[in-house]
Amino acid sequence: MPILAQFQAPEVQKEDKVTLADVEPESSSEEEASGEDVEKAVLSKQDAYQKKLIKLELERMVGDHRIVVPSTPAPPQSPGRSKKSVPSNLIAAKPPTALERTMNSTLGRSFTILFTMINFAVLIQLIIVWNSPAAWLSGEAVFMGSGVLLFSTNLYGFMPAMARTAGLMPINTGVDWKPYFIFYRMSFFTSVPAAVMMWMGPGARNSFGEFEGGIEDISTRDLTQGSYKYFRAYDGFVALNLTKGITETLLRTDHSENVPRKSRYRDAEVVNNYEPYSDEVQPTVPPGFQETYRIAPVFPEWAPCTTRYRISGSCLKENQVVGWALATARSACTNFRAVSCRKQQPLLDPYYHCATDSVRGAQDTGVITGLCGRSVPPPSAEVIDELNALLLLDGWPLASLANSSHGWYDVWMNDCIGGYDECEKQWSLYELLGMILIGLTAVLAVLPIFVDCYFDKQIRRAQDFVESCKKSTTKSTAVF
């Protein structure tokens, strides 16, 4: 029994069945735990990445990124350093264009030289005539002056560049295989003093203008108004004691306590009485000051009543005003409607008998006539209007007030008015030197044309000879 009991089959233990309901809760909890771990890992990586970016940005902003230069010199190298350059025989020149080939020919060089001489001739002509009185009266002076600048720039700026294209200048290597072109380049050096001499000679003569009448054989009543002609009259007296000053300002301002008005022109309060115990004081310069005019009446004859600091109506009736002496002062700034950039003190200093026995009106207190000067155009209507307002305040009658039909004269002394013959000799000397330099410039510029034509002709003959030799050699070789 016991033995049978030992060999008896073991009891089969009853296993418990595991269902899906029992497994699901454990798997879902594991998945949730793993998802949270992954999310935490991702967040930690993002935080670490952001911290790294911030750290790099801070290092970039506050860090010192300068290149550290050692205090010791660099050690010598063997072989030593040398500048590398491409051999000249390996450099391929840029092929010339059709225009460059045309310019770099006999015809192109001849055209360049002739165009240079035409430019030079026009420049000389403009230098002579641009500042003449006729040009100013016709309004062409500004355009001619601009032409002088234009042709000067063209002659000394554009023409050398054009000459380089035409082969009249040395090439980049410094080789001048046609050395006679140096005469063309020398013409630029002689053209400068030629232009200066023509400006100081005939240019100054034309700028001076012409005389109206002879030496003290014309009256101030017979002068042509605004003609820019000089005169040496036998009569005429400038009353400096009655000088009025007018100041032009940049903006319209209120002025004149007696008769208030608003304009750009105001009384300059010129001091005429410098005698002892005079109560006149020097005025201050108004703000926005631009230009000053000084104007004094011109009478046909000297009279005692015209030499006082105040003139009566009866004196004006007996001594009619025949014109006005005018002095102005401008600067480069006022020409551009800017505030004056220099001190302006125009002076009226008339001269009498300038061709015979010159006398300065500011230093002579006696009886004097025989005014010398130049007829100029009248000032603007605003200046004349302000002048008349000042004259009315001094009690001048309406018939004696200034107007544009009166004569206006520039009485500043010009040495050529009295000594015209000396000035003419000087102008003629400068003109002669200028003509010599102009002729030398023309010869230096035009001579290379003929030499170049001759040499190019010889070169073409040599080329034709070489070509004919090649052809003859080829034919004889083919026969044999």
> DSSP letter string over 385-437?
HHHHHHHHHTT--GGGS--TTSEEEE----HHHH-HHHHHHHHHHHHHHHHHH
pLDDT for 9 equals 42
Rounded CA-CA distance 294/344 in Å is 11
Q: Are strands 289-299 and 323-329 parallel, antiparallel or unpaired?
A: antiparallel
First to last CA, the chain: 142
Q: With both helix axes pointing from N to C terminus, report the angle between 106-129 and 141-153 in degrees, rounded to the nearest 10.
A: 150
Rounded CA-CA distance 452/454 in Å is 5
pLDDT for 23 equals 44
Tokens read off for 332: 């480069």
Longest dimension (CA), the chain: 186
Adjacent-strand bridge partners of 298: 238, 323
Cβ–Cβ < 8 Å for 394, 239: no
| DSSP conformation letters of 24-75 | HHHHHHHHHHHHHHHHHHHHHHHHHHHHHHHHHHHHHHHS--PPPPPSSPPP
Cβ–Cβ < 8 Å for 219, 233: yes
pLDDT for 6 equals 42
pLDDT for 137 equals 86
Adjacent-strand bridge partners of 327: 294
In a 13 Å sphere around the CA of 211, the CA atoms on its Cβ side amount to: 18
- Give average pLDDT by consecutive 10-residue segment, the chain, 480 residues: 42 44 52 76 87 86 78 76 73 79 87 94 94 88 92 93 86 70 92 95 91 87 89 90 85 73 79 61 65 89 87 88 86 65 74 85 81 90 88 88 88 85 92 95 92 86 86 57
Torsion angle in degrees (nearest 10) through CA of 56, 62, 65, 68: -130
CA distances from 189 to 176, 183, 194 (A): 19, 10, 9
DSSP-assigned letter for residue 181: G
Rounded CA-CA distance 69/445 in Å is 58
Residue with tokens 């001091």: 271
Q: 17 by DSSP, 3-state: which?
A: coil
Tokens read off for 60: 């970039």
pTM of the model: 0.69
Altogether, the residues listed in the chain come to a count of: 480
Rounded CA-CA distance 39/46 in Å is 11
CA distances from 8 to 2, 13, 103 (A): 10, 15, 130
pLDDT for 336 equals 66
Handedness of CA 305, 306, 311, 317 (dihedral sign): positive
Rounded CA-CA distance 305/297 in Å is 13
What are the backbone dihedrals phi and psi of residue 133, each rounded to the nearest 5 degrees, phi first? -60, -35
Burial of 364 (0-12, 13-18, 19+ CB in 10 A): exposed
Rounded CA-CA distance 237/411 in Å is 11
In a 13 Å sphere around the CA of 302, the CA atoms on its Cβ side amount to: 14
Rounded CA-CA distance 241/243 in Å is 6
What are the backbone dihedrals phi and psi of residue 187, each rounded to the nearest 5 degrees, phi first? -65, -25
Rounded CA-CA distance 109/452 in Å is 9
Rounded CA-CA distance 269/243 in Å is 10
In a 13 Å sphere around the CA of 446, the CA atoms on its Cβ side amount to: 10
Element (H, E) at 193: helix 182-198
